[in-house]
């Protein structure tokens, strides 16, 4: 049972436009969410996170939005750049378990010129 879902396996966006990557979760106990970026032949690297006490977190061109009632989060990249082309994973965890992250299946973003 996939508790964290990324329903779009791929996304293509033009350079300079906004990229929106979506993530849904089913476990209401999740209260901390992260996005990781992965380039080919490399390990995932942390991008941005958000706690459930917030509904938005911003870091430069990257903003994560959390809608707890809908169990939905999204990552916005503005403006998109060719170097953003990668696979993006969302992940979630429960406070207090301090034991593991549950990852989504990933979305491959391609930023075209």
Partner 1 sequence: EAQVTQNPRYLITVTGKKLTVTCSQNMNHEYMSWYRQDPGLGLRQIYYSMNVEVTDKGDVPEGYKVSRKEKRNFPLILESPSPNQTSLYFCASSLFLTDTQYFGPGTRLTVL
28 binds partner 1 (CB under 8 A): no
- Nearest Cα neighbor of 109 from 8, 5, 12 is 12
Distances (CA, A) of 78 to 2, 68, 82, 99: 29, 23, 12, 33
CA-based radius of gyration for the chain: 13
3-state helix, strand, coil in the chain (%, to 5): 5, 55, 45
Nearest to 101 by CA among 8, 39, 23: 23
Closer residue to partner 1, CB minimum distance, 80 or 93: 93
| Nearer to partner 1 (CB atom), residue 42 or residue 69 | 42
- Beta carbon of residue 107, minimum distance to partner 1 (angstroms, whole number): 10
Binding flags for partner 1, 43-72, as an x/- string (CB under 8 A):
xxxx--x-----------------------
Please count the residues of this chain forming the interface with partner 1, following the rule CB under 8 A.
Answer: 25
Under the criterion CB under 8 A, does residue 26 sit at the interface with partner 1?
no
- Told to check if 10 binds partner 1 by CB under 8 A, we report no
CA distance 29 to 105: 20
Q: Which residues bind partner 1 (CB under 8 A)?
A: 4, 6, 32, 36, 41-46, 49, 89, 91, 93, 95, 97-106
């Amino acid at each position: 049972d996939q508790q964290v879902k990324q329903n779009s396996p791929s996304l293509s966006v033009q350079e300079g436009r906004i990229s929106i990557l979506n993530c849904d979760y089913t476990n209401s106990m999740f209260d901390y969410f992260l996005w990781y970026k992965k380039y080919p032949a490399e390990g995932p690297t942390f991008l941005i996170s958000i706690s459930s006490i917030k509904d938005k977190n911003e870091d430069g061109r990257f903003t994560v939005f959390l809608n707890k009632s809908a169990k939905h989060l999204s990552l916005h990249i503005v403006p998109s750049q060719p170097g953003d082309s990668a696979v993006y994973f969302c992940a979630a965890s429960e406070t207090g378990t301090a034991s593991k992250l549950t990852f989504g299946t990933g979305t491959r973003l391609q930023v075209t010129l």
